[in-house]
């Protein structure tokens, strides 16, 4: 197993907050290493770029490359997220607020690692989850964005997990994307904007409109 790595997207000297962008990607064989060129990793580059632009130079943004592909029971992507959080704390401050944004298995990792002390908000894009997944997200704001036509990660599972997490989360919104599929290629800008808007609002203090604005105003479920 290789070591996890952080790829810098934006590293201001004195940021208001940090954002970790987490990729998905199932393993095709045991202990398969992550490649920077695999599609699940490349898929998150435009998401990270959108967050950097929306952050107006006030957010430190990193893409996390996991130690291995998939979800190994002995060392999961959640462990890699906790490593990355420690790295961010060492670079900046343990008090720096952090937002997590993940896709597919990265969305699952974001939700399950959301209980870490510095995390203030979580965005899960088409998260691949088990209905039994749960975490104590007290004080955290959570957004799940799921394509209605996702045939890899079942939106119904995500809704089940959303109901569980809403019992502790400060707020939890669910955005359903009409015609959206798992890879986020179709209607990709909707996913990217939702992720960027949510983190700049929840850890950057900016006001936003659109679907995320509706969620933050108190709507539990928005369709776009």
**Which domains are seen in the chain, by residue range?**
5-223 (3.40.50.1820)
Q: How far is CA 149 from CA 41, 46, 79, in A?
A: 21, 21, 30
Q: What region, left, alpha or beta, does residue 18 occupy, with left being phi > 0 and alpha being psi -120 to 50 degrees? A: beta
Which range, of 38-47, 69-78, 158-167, 215-224, averages the lowest pLDDT? 69-78
Q: How far is CA 102 from CA 29, 89, 139, 218, in A?
A: 22, 19, 19, 23
Q: What is the tens place of the pLDDT at every residue in 34-62?
A: 888 788 889 999 999 999 999 999 999 99
| SS3 call for 97 | coil
Give the pLDDT of residue 37: 79
Does the structure show a pLDDT above 60 at 29? Answer: no
Q: How far apart are CA 146 and CA 58, in angstroms?
A: 28
β-sheet bridge partners, residue 125 = 103, 145
Q: How confident is the model at residue 93 (pLDDT cuts 50, 70, 90)?
A: very high
Q: How confident is the model at residue 16 (pLDDT cuts 50, 70, 90)?
A: very high
Does the structure show a pLDDT above 60 at 30? Answer: no
Count of other CB atoms within 10 angstroms of residue 157: 17
Q: What is the tens place of the pLDDT at every residue in 142-188?
A: 999 999 999 999 999 999 999 999 999 999 999 999 999 999 998 99
Which range, of 15-19, 139-143, 184-188, averages the lowest pLDDT? 184-188
Give the pLDDT of residue 8: 96
Query: Taking the model in full, what pTM does it have?
Result: 0.95
What is the chain's mean pLDDT, rounded? 94
Q: What is the tens place of the pLDDT at every residue in 95-110?
A: 999 999 999 999 999 9
């Amino acid at each position: 197993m290789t070591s996890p790595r952080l790829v810098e997207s934006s590293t201001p000297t004195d940021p208001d907050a940090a954002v970790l962008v987490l990729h998905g990607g199932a393993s095709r064989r045991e202990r398969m290493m992550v490649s920077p060129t695999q599609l699940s990793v490349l898929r998150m580059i435009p998401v990270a770029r959108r967050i950097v632009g929306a952050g107006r130079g006030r957010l430190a943004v990193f893409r996390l490359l996991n130690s291995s592909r998939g979800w190994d029971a002995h060392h999961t992507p959640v462990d890699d997220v906790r490593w990355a959080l420690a790295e961010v704390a060492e670079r900046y401050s343990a008090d720096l607020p952090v937002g997590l944004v993940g896709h597919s298995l990265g969305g699952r990792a974001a939700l399950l690692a959301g209980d870490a002390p510095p995390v203030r908000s979580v965005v899960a894009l088409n998260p691949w989850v088990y209905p039994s997944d749960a975490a104590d997200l007290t004080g955290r704001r959570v957004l799940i964005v799921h394509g209605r036509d996702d045939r890899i990660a079942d939106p119904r599972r995500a809704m089940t997990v959303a109901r569980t997490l809403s019992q502790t989360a400060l707020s939890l919104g669910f955005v359903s994307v009409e015609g959206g599929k798992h890879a986020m290629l179709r209607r990709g800008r909707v996913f990217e904007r939702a992720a960027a808007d949510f983190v700049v609002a929840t850890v950057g203090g900016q006001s936003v409109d659109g679907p995320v604005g509706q969620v933050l105003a108190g709507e539990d479920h928005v369709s776009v």
